[in-house]
Structure 1
């Protein structure tokens, strides 16, 4: 494990959409074998950060390197070496899952024999064997999410970027994915994980970065964050982002509106 050089290196990252400053000087260094939970309210800049890191957005200011590559100058080199599971992706739903994974694997130039073997095994492990030859336009959200997860991992990437990867999954699949992420970490993979599921982030993350209004307001282990505010990660998050009183007030207003 390389503890000397960060595999993700973000320095003074700024991003603006029109008059809206989305990211305001982000600084993050992530080292090999870490699971980093990247959390924040809606609109905080989480998805924008992820899209910059995977080479989807280049109109930013600052220094961003992934696996030693400048993401602005070498986006294809970055994309070859990473996996990405977005929150809302459009699958080619007229394809079967095996056809789709074959297509993805070929983009990554996987060997055909290795690709088919990996696709079949991974679909089996996600309980999709009976649906291998079915068109994905008949799939539930959870089934599609399983295919997306496999497509982000099938080429054995060095870094995995996850944006709400558990969306739509059943309880058993959530447990399996959490176990898989832990084992990937043990094999030296780096995982950058964004989610609103605080209990999952709390359990799997070595380090938690809290983003609010485009700025990092906390960065550390769960125990280190707990030194700033007590309780579960959910209550710490609410306290750090200043939403505790507002949340209580809105809940009371909601109950009143129901006439309870």
Structure 2
């Protein structure tokens, strides 16, 4: 199996319950993959497993040929993540969150400042750099989290419900950025319940049903979900 992200025969068991079973797929460079499925299908568990926060009992995951188990630190620097709910630190300002990502991903200072200026202008956050998360609305916190994940130039971007909490203007700007990242060669895996967005953004899809891949293919083959996990 080839690809920028490769997931092979992954199994995840939690308290003797099998959550994922024999999950295999890949995302090529410059490709957006929509991970779809009903609630409880295993999408969040799969994302946590790719992130490394959920241990797999079987299988292999690699990004850019870096094995998750054998080269964990280098593997982690190949990806960034936008969760559905912002995960911000109450003691850090907005700008300090950006600096934390700069240090973690070793982003050169000039490139860092250019990106902060562009993204905070695009997301209308340029006047919030010295604010703390508690003083921000949920939508603003989501914008901060989104900018954090966009600062590093990674091989893989993981996004859980990318447009949750974003207003229409911010959503359109974010969609433009995602397409730019794809065109630059970044692989993007996103989950969303906004199925109209699947066709607008994604190139390919993988559908999970009861922890297994029930179908996958080009996004133009995908229409909607039925309860059996097959695209109608």
Report the counterpart of residue 155 of structure 1 in structure 2.
Answer: 152
The alignment's C-alpha RMSD in Å is 1.9
User: Aligned match of 1:137 in 134, 137, 145?
Assistant: 134
* 1:55/1:78 contact within 8 Å kept: no
Distance in 2 separating the partners of 1:93 and 1:195: 27
User: Aligned match of 2:123 in 109, 112, 126?
Assistant: 126
The CA deviation at 1:19 is 2.2
The CA deviation at 1:241 is 3.2
The CA deviation at 1:210 is 0.8
TM-score by length of 1: 0.83
The CA deviation at 1:240 is 4.3
Report the counterpart of residue 228 of structure 1 in structure 2.
Answer: none
The CA deviation at 1:127 is 0.5
User: Aligned match of 1:12 in 9, 13, 21?
Assistant: 9
* 1:11/1:62 contact within 8 Å kept: yes
* 1:86/1:164 contact within 8 Å kept: yes
CA shift in 2, pair 1:186/1:117, >3 Å: closer
Report the counterpart of residue 230 of structure 1 in structure 2.
Answer: none
Distance in 2 separating the partners of 1:59 and 1:26: 11
The CA deviation at 1:214 is 0.2
* 1:5/1:31 contact within 8 Å kept: yes
Q: Secondary structure at the match of 2:154?
A: coil
Report the counterpart of residue 180 of structure 2 in structure 1.
Answer: 183
User: Aligned match of 2:19 in 18, 22, 30?
Assistant: 22
The CA deviation at 1:137 is 0.9
Distance in 2 separating the partners of 1:59 and 1:213: 16
Asked which structure has the greater RCO (Cα within 8 Å, sep 6+), the reply is 2
Q: Secondary structure at the match of 2:38?
A: coil
Distance in 2 separating the partners of 1:187 and 1:90: 27
* 2:204/2:218 contact within 8 Å kept: yes
Report the counterpart of residue 237 of structure 1 in structure 2.
Answer: 225
Distance in 2 separating the partners of 1:119 and 1:84: 17
- Gaps of at least 5 residues in structure 2 are none
* 2:10/2:21 contact within 8 Å kept: yes
- Write out aligned runs for 1:74-223 (5 A): 74-223=71-220
Q: Deviations over 1:170-214 (max 9, x none)?
A: 111111111211121111111111111111112111001111110
* 1:123/1:129 contact within 8 Å kept: yes
The number of equivalent residue pairs is 231
Distance in 1 separating the partners of 2:7 and 2:131: 42
- Whose helix proportion is higher, 1 or 2? 1
Q: Secondary structure at the match of 2:77?
A: helix
Q: Deviations over 1:84-123 (max 9, x none)?
A: 1111242013322111101121111222343233223211
Q: Deviations over 1:142-173 (max 9, x none)?
A: 11111111111101112111111211111111
